[in-house]
Chains A and B, each alone.
Chain A
Amino acid sequence: MTLAQDPTLASFGHDPWWLIIIKIVFAFLFGLVGTLLGVWMERRVVARMAVRPGPNRHGPFGLLQTLADGLKMAFKEDIMPRAADKVVYFLAPTISVVCGFTALSVIPFGPMVSIFGHHTPLQVTDIPVAVLLVLAVSSIAVYGTVLAGWASGSPYPLLGGLRASAQMISYEVAQGLSIVAVFLTASSMSTSQIVAAQAGNDTSWGPVNAPSWYALLLLPSFLIYFVSAVAETGRAPFDLPEGESEIVGGYFTEYASSLKWALFMMAEYVHMLVVSSVATTLFLGGWRAPWPITLWSGANSGWWPLLWFFGKVAVLLFVFVWLRGTLPRLRYDQFMHLGWKVLLPVNLVWILLLAGINVINDWRTRDRLLVIGGVALAALLIAMLWPTRRPEPEVPLQEQVDARPPGSFPVPPIDLQVPPSPRVRREVAERQPATVGGPSAGGQPEEKEG
């Protein structure tokens, strides 16, 4: 169902130059302001989850804290480590950020609107392969990370850069394949057309209309996309490239608090904004309002869709922060296991299943049942004939320890009992009890009445 306010591919490319500049500046500001608010939201939300107040000094609710931090960065000295490869060290953060911003250009923020008398879509530009462009620039953004790690001239950043590259390319495969399901269903790769394809045919359950979002229709793809998006942006619980407790700051260890370091932070948040916007566009119906709002007929026209779009993106950003506040970092082997042995095979099988379902949907019932039966039979045969693994014999811990190659790290005895430190016992004994009304005389706790 294509409404009048739905942009088609033909609606693009007719803008006068000043309109293009307005749109570009808008997309750019979306990235900038989104970063400022995103950092603020992350700090406040994580603080709330950790029962702390969070930044609350600058501006209402501490809203200007990020701005103050950003300004501070501009006043900082630019330190170039002696061992660094100067050109690459300088270019790496810029590559990361510019790639993030370029991806914002194909995000549909809203329908056709009228700007100074010009009927134009609220999207910088659209091309028939817009989603591929997003994938491409996010691949190029990996260069920023890897080159930063390499150019720092230091082992930890190199390690962080290598980790980051392995992580990003692993999850990019899963991400790319999860989008295939969207292409299958929408029959288009342009972002505005995918939004249009998700419109209209709501399935209604009684009075409630479930939105025809691909997040519901293609739930496995959505989940895989979101997991790999978190991994792709290097956010917790997949923040192995940074891994503060393991490799200090990872690839930006040597970018000691300067403008370049701020750029890396910005790249991270712009990247989060991009993957959230893409998830909104591909799976959550883009700028279209969900059901209770669509009861109002003007919900999907004019400038209102901007609000729905930002709302959806904000919810996804909140999920990012929520994950960070909740989950511990994955171990690297578990992480790679998840990417290659779970997400990738599940994705491949799901795509073929979906394609098969789409094709046999308009067949005769007898043929359809035959095909379904055949597939079920094959799956059953594979499940029955799959060789079961013989359980490995349990090796006692002592033998495992003895079998390690020479030169391994010494391990403490497993049943080690650490006695309480005598110093702690003494300190606890000597500690003055804390009182509510200031220090009490003679170290005696005040007697409370009633």
Chain B
Amino acid sequence: MVGSTLPVVGGYLGSYATLGLLLLVGLVFFGVAFGANRLLRPARPASPEGKFATYECGLDPVGGDWAQAQIRYYVYAYLYVLFAVESVFLFPWAVIFDRPDFGMVTVVEMAVFVGVLALGILYAWRKRVLSWT
């Protein structure tokens, strides 16, 4: 097999397969690490009362993790979706807008698109969801 390419790592999708391999190596590494930990750690550790209780800061925690969270976190999540999608449209535009067939029209179109989205953030600004209370 030395000197020849693997069938899975050739061609256009081959580069992606290599990424998958790296992911796999990572997983194997952590499998080995946890395995070693399993062998090396104390076999019969003491388990005094309270050892497996929630630590937090040494005091008994108030409430659990099934608590209600502030709505403000979700507002940021929505805004993120808005601008992540905007970026998705901006990326391919940024790569090709310089080519001869495109010109000022492309830039103005993108300006209009960005402007519409900027209205979104202005609205959020005006509604004061951006100021953390």
Chain A residues at the B interface, C-beta cutoff of 8 Å: 12-18, 20-21, 24-25, 27-28, 73-83, 94, 97-98, 101-102, 104-106, 124-127, 132-133, 150, 152-158, 162, 165-166, 169-170, 172-173, 176-177, 180-181, 183-184, 187-189, 248, 253-254, 256, 258-259, 263, 332-333, 336-337, 340-341, 344-345, 348, 351-352, 355-356, 358-360
A345–B54 alpha-carbon span in the complex (Å): 42
- The answer on a CB contact under 8 Å between B22 and A27 is yes
- Interface 0/1 of B15-41, CB less than 8 Å to A: 110110111011101100110111011
Question: What are the residues of chain A within 8 A of B30 when measuring CB–CB?
Answer: 94, 97-98, 263
Question: What are the residues of chain A within 8 A of B121 when measuring CB–CB?
Answer: 340, 344-345
Q: CB within 8 A of B36: which of A24, A74, A154?
A: A74
Chain B residues at the A interface, C-beta cutoff of 8 Å: 1-6, 9-12, 14-16, 18-19, 21-23, 25-27, 29-30, 33-34, 36-38, 40-42, 45, 51-57, 61-65, 67, 69-70, 72-73, 76-77, 79-80, 83-84, 87, 90-91, 94-99, 103-104, 106-107, 110-111, 114, 118, 121, 125, 130-133
Question: What are the residues of chain A within 8 A of B3 when measuring CB–CB?
Answer: 16
- The answer on a CB contact under 8 Å between B23 and A102 is yes
Question: What are the residues of chain A within 8 A of B110 when measuring CB–CB?
Answer: 352, 355
- The answer on a CB contact under 8 Å between B132 and A79 is no
Tally of contacts, chain A with chain B, CB under 8 A: 231
Question: What are the residues of chain B within 8 A of A169 when measuring CB–CB?
Answer: 76-77, 80
Q: Is the interface of A mostly helix, strand, loop or mixed?
A: helix
- The answer on a CB contact under 8 Å between A165 and B73 is yes
Q: CB within 8 A of B83: which of A24, A79, A125, A173?
A: A173
Question: What are the residues of chain A within 8 A of B37 when measuring CB–CB?
Answer: 73-74, 76, 78, 258-259
A337–B129 alpha-carbon span in the complex (Å): 11
- The answer on a CB contact under 8 Å between B67 and A180 is no
Question: What are the residues of chain B within 8 A of A336 when measuring CB–CB?
Answer: 76, 130-132
Q: CB within 8 A of B14: which of A13, A77, A83, A104?
A: A13
- The answer on a CB contact under 8 Å between B130 and A98 is no
Shortest Cβ distance from residue A112 to the other chain B in the assembled complex, whole angstroms: 16
Q: CB within 8 A of B98: which of A76, A180, A184?
A: A184
A132–B88 alpha-carbon span in the complex (Å): 9
Whether A254 touches B90, Cβ cut-off 8 Å, given contacts A13-B9, A76-B41, is: no
Q: CB within 8 A of A183: which of B38, B63, B91?
A: B91
A181–B90 alpha-carbon span in the complex (Å): 10
Shortest Cβ distance from residue B84 to the other chain A in the assembled complex, whole angstroms: 7
- The answer on a CB contact under 8 Å between B80 and A132 is no
Q: CB within 8 A of A77: which of B2, B45, B132?
A: B45
A183–B88 alpha-carbon span in the complex (Å): 12
